[in-house]
Amino acid sequence: MKRAAPFLAAVILSHLAGACSTTAVLRVTPEHRKFLKPVSDSTYRNRSIDKLFSRVEEKGDTICEMMFQTKPYDDATAKEFSDTLDFRKDPEEKWYNNVLPTMLAGCFNFFKMNDRGVHKSFALIEELYPEAKDCFTVGFTQFYMMFQQMRCKRFVAIDIDWRILKAHHDFQGLVRANSAGADALSLLQQLQLGWVAHFDSRPPKREPVKNETTLCMETEKVHCRSAFDHFVSQRQLPKTELLLGFIHDADLAPREGEVSVIFASNALDWEYTNREQFNKLLESARQSLGKREKIAIVYQAGDSEDIAVYELMTNTDGVFTATVRCRDNLRWSDRYKKYLRGKPIYTWFDEIYQRDQLKQAPRCHVGGTRRYITDFTASPKKNPQQSP
């Protein structure tokens, strides 16, 4: 018995160490801690993440009900959630107006990926950056497609929308606990998504995942399903890393690699990133990058396969530069406002360069990309803009 005691103690210590290990971490940027009063700390781990999301969801649901006018608006309740965001809407305003505060409150959530051909884009980016890298992506499905297509030392889900990050946390928790070997879709169908964005109807308080098209466009569902299946099939999952905040307010410098790759989708559009915030992004990169380190930011035009890859780098002499690694012929989709459709898109990064310099940049998709026009069926009046 005495000989067994050290072994037993070792087993107990090993179990306790496993129980205390970090399987999930949520980091919150300074701006979001100012926006959302229930989010007070900069870092949450494991069960504290569940407690935080439960608290924010309960309070956030009340805000959403007030915004969509199913409950009387109460200013005191709104200020308990945020004393910096204005959640009021005029009775005649559409539910999709005042988008940014609505998204920050978790009341208009773009779970459905409107990026096209993302699997091809991630495969291309892996070719551009084969070195050790940290990988960040906005959105929901994009994370799992990046995980399938790219070899990264670290994967981080970054979003301004806490409900998107909650869905990641819940799904990856289900995958970790999947002792019965359930398939990816069965696990996804256990999620209850809150206030899913719809332009043709008010968002429902809760909406189940019906199939792949709940989370991605019809044209992408085969690739989406493949990515989810790939993630669920892993024998060992990486730590779940969540980053709640704007790209311009986040620390994007590589920790475990030589380059950070950030798939921003169209979060750099002027609706979501203004010039001041873009300048803050550049300055943050300038200050955080070590010598010979890079940050690659990938912009993808909404409802399109077209992308641009912008590279921020500090050379061996400590000189910071911003260049265009490659750029497709970016244009606004027919799903956007009528005055934008088909017109060229220029991001804040593009404003750094002369137009003739942009024309000389190599195309990302050398063989060209597809523009999705024929499957546009919604009324422009009911679908005035596309998701971020």
Which residue shows structure tokens 């969801």? 57
pTM above 0.85, yes or no: yes
94 in a structural domain: yes
Q: Stretch 170-184: mean pLDDT, rounded?
A: 94
Is there a domain that residue 2 lies in?
no
Residues 118-148 have pLDDT tens digits of 999 999 999 999 999 999 999 999 999 999 9
Nearest CA to 372 out of 307, 268, 267, 302 is that of 302
Q: Is residue 385 part of a domain?
A: no
Asked if residue 47 is part of any domain, the answer here is: yes
Using CA atoms, how far apart are residues 376 and 300, in angstroms rounded to an integer?
A: 19
- How do residues 294-341 score in pLDDT, each as one tens digit? 999 999 998 889 999 999 999 888 899 999 999 999 988 766 667 677
Label residue 60 by pLDDT band (50, 70, 90): very high
Task: For the beta carbon of residue 170, count every other beta carbon within 10 angstroms.
Answer: 18
Q: Is residue 380 part of a domain?
A: no
Q: pLDDT per residue over 196-221, tens digit each?
A: 998 778 889 999 999 999 999 999 99
Q: Domain for residue 72, yes or no?
A: yes
Residue 251 forms part of a structural domain: yes
User: Is residue 182 domain-resident?
Assistant: yes
For residue 316, the model assigns a pLDDT of 87
Confidence of residue 44 (pLDDT cuts 50, 70, 90): very high
Contact at 8 Å (CB) between 327 and 363?
A: yes
Q: Cα dist. 133→146, 288, 302, 311 in Å?
A: 12, 16, 25, 14
Residue 169 confidence (pLDDT) above 80: yes
Number of domains in the chain: 1
Angle at 10 between CA 241 and CA 176, to 5 degrees: 30
Q: 113: pLDDT confidence band, cut at 50, 70 and 90?
A: very high
Domain that holds residue 237: 25-360
Fill in the DSSP letter of residue 219.
G
